[in-house]
Structure 1
Amino acid sequence: MAEVATSARSSGTSSALSDPLLVVVDPVARRVDGESVRIAKDVLRAGAAHTKVCLPDSPEEFARMLGRRGSRRPVVVGDDRALLRAVGLLHRWRELAGCGLSLVPVGPAQELSRSLGVPSGAVAAARAVLEGAERRLDLLVDDSDGVVLGAVGIPPAPGAAQEAAGADDDASVRPWLRTCQSLVRTLAHPRPARSGPATGPGPARLRVEVDGVTLVDLDQPVAGVSLIPGGPGLAEVEVRPLSVGAEASPLTARGRTVTVSGAHFRYRADAVESGPVGTRTWTVRESAWGLTLPAR
């Protein structure tokens, strides 16, 4: 059962934040770094006029509490996977445009949050929640309604499988963690039915189209493909052709829609590995979501 606590700052203390907060603490964060969680809660309670702290024990409780936020601004205390879960839920509820998020990174996966500009460390991140400003960011949405906040890599970066295996080992003795991981993968990129063998980490033959224009076709083996939201409203695409002898120069393009097709391939979107798929299209949604970041 979730434990819910509320707090109110005394009127004698000034606050840079007027809107009430809903602080949702990811259960993985509580398990791996309870001290940072405690510090984050203390800083947020001291700095905000009205703070409600929720301690969900399952993904279902996480979703239920986020869905009942009312007028409170949600603050996620957790790692990249917790942020992805929150963004994925709000996107599927079609509430992402009107709900700004804040994050205090706590947990093992923080590469994405750092790339987005969220401060590391519980104190600095909590102060940014209180004193920062919402920044609207672009979002990649794929044709299965999955969301990407950072980068897509094809094939997945080396080590992705090992990381997933390590997480599964942990989940084998913590059934609730396996459920959590399954929900994150589903929210980010629902796994399609397996219809063919997956390509390995080596060269692949893929067709990459940017806004309907072919950047590379199936007759040219590629070593890798990557795309990121490049703003404003555009994705930056890089294709690394397989070189023979001298290193081949990357092919780059920018556009709103990117389609990759060909032999069944796996890809890594943010912290989640997905596939195999025969085709996948990503579309940029400009300024689709808001994240509180330190004021410039």
Structure 2
Amino acid sequence: MTAPNLLVVIDPGARLTDPESVRIARDVLCAGAPGTKVCLPERPEEVARALARRGSRCPVVVGDDRALLRAVRLLHRDRDLAACALAMVPVGPPAGIALAAALGVPTTAVAASRAVLHGTEHPLDLLVDDSGGVVLGTLRVPPAPGPYEGARGSPDGGRDGDGAYGDGARGCVPPGGTGGAGGAYGGGEAYGTGAAYGGGAGGAAGAGAGADAAKWARAQPLRGYRSLARTLARPLPLLASLVGPGAREGDEGHEGDGGAGGDWGPQRLRVEADGTLLADLDRPVAQVSLAPGSDGLAEVVVRRRASDTPVRARAHTVTVSGPDFRYRADALVGGPVRVRTWRALAGAWRLTLPAAPAP
């Protein structure tokens, strides 16, 4: 069997939070595919440049769900998503790699790396919106609190929230965030051969890999009061959700911020699925959820109240409109917007997954 021709893109957050898993993935992939090239990006444009120049190489994302979404979004933007199969080695706490696990990717570095080398390609549906965003798993309007509420980013292609490709000065980020990696691998080359990884002599000292955010944070060096304040502010959105609808976030956000700015309660929304009206502005809607199906149709569920029977539909296009609303697309929160349309695409991307055992 011919060894695959790989381009391994290692997310800076993965290098910071769990360098040991990153090292294992690098070693297994480079040993199984000697011609592997490794990319150590520090900024989003470096990821875009590496993917655009990959040639015949199959991209492998080493990182969390946000890193996978970033790669899919970039390839979709360049109309290059159907030209290659993506592979992934999830690195991060369980909450940060939940999407990868749901898609069938092994969640340990060794098993995932072996699946990259010996797995098979699986065509999958996805949703795309009218701003260039993509949805691989689930979309919800309004966004319920989730594991990424403190490390937000824009699904519309803006700069990832809170230093996903930051300058390192932003400092400690709890598991699930992808921040402050500028000093993590200071000596690493931006793009090169498998040996490029070894250039990162300035490694992420003290970076723990545990899923417990508090334990992880205590293991990190303190990089200034601003960093500490940002870290402590991250639970505020979750606390706001526990207080009740209408509670406002304590974080004022920043450039590229797509966070959930407040109300998670019922909203007056108009929902149309292939022109059929599922909800209108005259009655509040508790939640609208969308997900790619398996036949080129989106699965739509509209819930007015928890006690009501949900309205379900399957459609090629779904449009949600109303007063400014936010939405969670997989691991990212977007908005506010007044109207957004999502379109289902059948078999629009391919993901390498473990080969099925022989009967």
In which range does the TM-score fall when normalised by the shorter chain? Answer: 0.7 to 0.9
Q: Please name the residue that 2:66 is paired with.
A: 81
| Secondary structure of 2:101 counterpart | helix
More strand as a share of residues: 1
Q: How does 1:201-212 map to 2 (within 5 A)?
A: 201-212=264-275
Aligned-partner Cα distance in 1 for 2:70–2:335: 19
- For residues 48 and 23 of structure 2, what CA distance do their matches in structure 1 show? 22
Q: Distance in 1 between matches of 2:91 and 2:66?
A: 11
- Pick the aligned partner of 1:233 from 280, 286, 296: 296
Which of the numbers 102, 116, 138 marks the counterpart of 1:129? Answer: 116
Q: Please point out which of 102, 105, 127 is paired with 1:115.
A: 102
How far did 1:100 drift? 1.0
Q: Please tell me whether the aligned partners of residues 235 and 254 of structure 1 are also in contact (alpha carbons under 8 angstroms).
A: yes
Q: Quick one: which amino acid aligns to residue 127 of structure 1?
A: R
Q: Residue in 1 aligned with 2:169?
A: 173
Query: Offset at 1:158?
Result: 2.1
Q: Matched residues in 1 for 2:263 and 2:148: separation?
A: 11
Letter in structure 1 aligned against 2:15: R
> Residue in 2 aligned with 1:151?
138
Q: Is the 8 A contact 2:73 2:132 kept in 1?
A: no
Q: Does 1:295 align with 2:355?
A: yes
> 1:55 maps to what in 2?
40
Distance 1:135 1:53, change over 3 A: same
Change (3 A) 1:85 1:21: same
Is the 2:7–2:54 Cα contact (8 Å) retained in structure 1?
A: yes
- The letter of the residue matching 1:102 is A
Q: Does residue 265 in structure 1 map to residue 259 in structure 2?
A: no
> Cα–Cα, structure 1 residues 161 and 86, in superposed 2: closer, same or farther, change >3 Å?
closer
CA 1:240–1:178 in 2, change beyond 3 Å: closer, same or farther? farther
TM-score after normalising by structure 2: 0.68
For 2:15, what is the secondary structure of its paired residue? helix
- Contact 1:160-1:273 within 8 A present in 2 as well: no
CA separation of 1:29 and 1:161: change in aligned 2, threshold 3 A: closer
1:102 and 2:98 are equivalent in the alignment: no
Q: Where does structure 2 lack aligned partners over 5 or more consecutive residues?
A: 153-160, 172-177, 183-255
* Counterparts of 2:91 and 2:179, CA distance in 1: 16
Task: Assess if the C-alpha contact under 8 Å between 1:263 and 1:278 holds in 2.
Answer: yes
Aligned-residue CA RMSD (Å) = 2.6
Amino acid aligned to 1:210: A
Aligned: 1:281 with 2:322: no
CA distance in 2, matches of 1:289, 1:162: 27
- Measure the CA separation in 2 of the matches of 1:199 and 1:265: 10
Summarize deviations over 1:259-293 as a string: whole Å, max 9, x none. 11112211000111111111110000111111101
Percent of pairs with identical residues: 60
Q: Secondary structure at the match of 2:82?
A: coil
Distance 1:105 1:18 in 2: 21
Moved more, 40-49 or 275-284: 40-49
Q: Tell me, in whole angstroms, the C-alpha distance in 2 between the residues paired with 1:149 and 1:121.
A: 21
Q: Distance in 2 between matches of 1:75 and 1:159?
A: 26
User: TM-score normalized by structure 1?
Assistant: 0.82
**C-alpha distance in 2 between matches for 1:49 and 1:256:** 43
CA deviation string 1:38-65 (max 9, x = no partner): 1001111121242112222222222212
Q: How many pairs were matched up?
A: 264
Query: Who is 1:200 aligned against?
Result: 263
Counterpart of 2:48 in 1: which secondary structure? helix
Which residue does 2:30 correspond to in 1?
45
For the residue of structure 2 that corresponds to 1:94, the secondary structure is coil
